[in-house]
Amino acid sequence: MSPDPGTSPDRAARTSRAAARLAADLAALQRATSEREPDMNRTVRALRERSRRGLQEGRLMSLWNSLRVHPGRAAAGAAVALVLVLLFVPLSYTRTAGYEVRVELPGASLASTPVVQIAQQLKGLLNANAVSVALREGPGGGATLVARVPAGPRAPVQAAADGYARALAGKGVPARAEVRPVVERALGSVCAIAAERLREIRIEARGKTPAQIEQEIRARLAEVGFVNPQVTVTKQGGQMHIEVRADAVGKGAGASQARITVDGTHPGK
């Protein structure tokens, strides 16, 4: 029977040899670390200087240590800092500064079409800041009227431009209208951005039927730039239920969010 390797005399001897070497090395460590004498005065001098110089650093360090020990506080602090940054630090964003309404009058000429008169009518109709007229010479000829309309809901501008183009066509002046948003870069806080994107719609419901309320909400949503608004209003036992579905027009829409207030209260989402 072979001897158990775990208890063999040879193994025990080697284990004790490791223990003996360890003991000798610990004694060597004791000697080696004692060779250079520790200097208390130097340590204290350095620390005095450090404590004078680094009182403020010390406070920062203690804050840092406290945050390390309490990660919850660190997370809350970071969240507060983020909110403050979002509230007060200006961010770059795009906004609709107005609209450019282009009315094409193909084949028009100063001789045959009262272009200047049309331009004045267009300016008044759209409440535009200015209307420029560009005449094209050549075989086809024609004119392009460009009106700059101040920022606001897009839908009424689009409706007015289309209506005017149809009216001109009815008078025998072929016309085509196009509305383009004028987009500009701006700086503003998150609050300012949200306020700009949010449109408040106030509805007075007292004395109105659900159908009238529906119609009013639809019209107001269209005014602020939402297309195909589907509104359902039901009244049951003194409570009113309003359901609204609408799509914001793409880039350059007047608003991306609307808040509807009925009789001074916000019914919720």
Q: How far is the CB of 18 from other proteins (least distance, A)?
A: 4
Using rule CB under 8 A, residue 4 touches other proteins: no
Q: How far is the CB of 53 from other proteins (least distance, A)?
A: 13
Using rule CB under 8 A, residue 30 touches other proteins: yes
Length of the chain counted residue by residue:
269
Q: How many CB atoms lie within 10 A of CB 15?
A: 10
Whole-number Å distance between alpha carbons of 185 and 74: 35
10 versus 137: smaller Cβ distance to other proteins: 10
Phi-psi region of 69 (alpha: psi -120 to 50; beta: other; left: phi over 0): alpha
In this chain, which of 2, 7, 9, 35 binds other proteins, going by CB under 8 A? 35
Using rule CB under 8 A, residue 60 touches other proteins: no
Q: How far is the CB of 63 from other proteins (least distance, A)?
A: 15
Contact 246, 226 (CB under 8 A): yes
- What DSSP letter does each residue of 62-111 carry, written as one string? HHHHHHHH-HHHHHHHHHHHHHHHHHHS-EEEEEEEEEEEEEEEET--TT
Using rule CB under 8 A, residue 69 touches other proteins: no
Q: How far is the CB of 20 from other proteins (least distance, A)?
A: 8
Contact 157, 249 (CB under 8 A): no
In this chain, which of 3, 49, 50, 57 binds other proteins, going by CB under 8 A? 50
Using rule CB under 8 A, residue 180 touches other proteins: no
Using rule CB under 8 A, residue 63 touches other proteins: no
Using rule CB under 8 A, residue 209 touches other proteins: no
Contact 179, 164 (CB under 8 A): no
Q: Which residues of this protein are in contact with other proteins, per CB under 8 A?
A: 5, 10-11, 14-15, 17-19, 21-26, 28-38, 40, 43-44, 46-48, 50-51
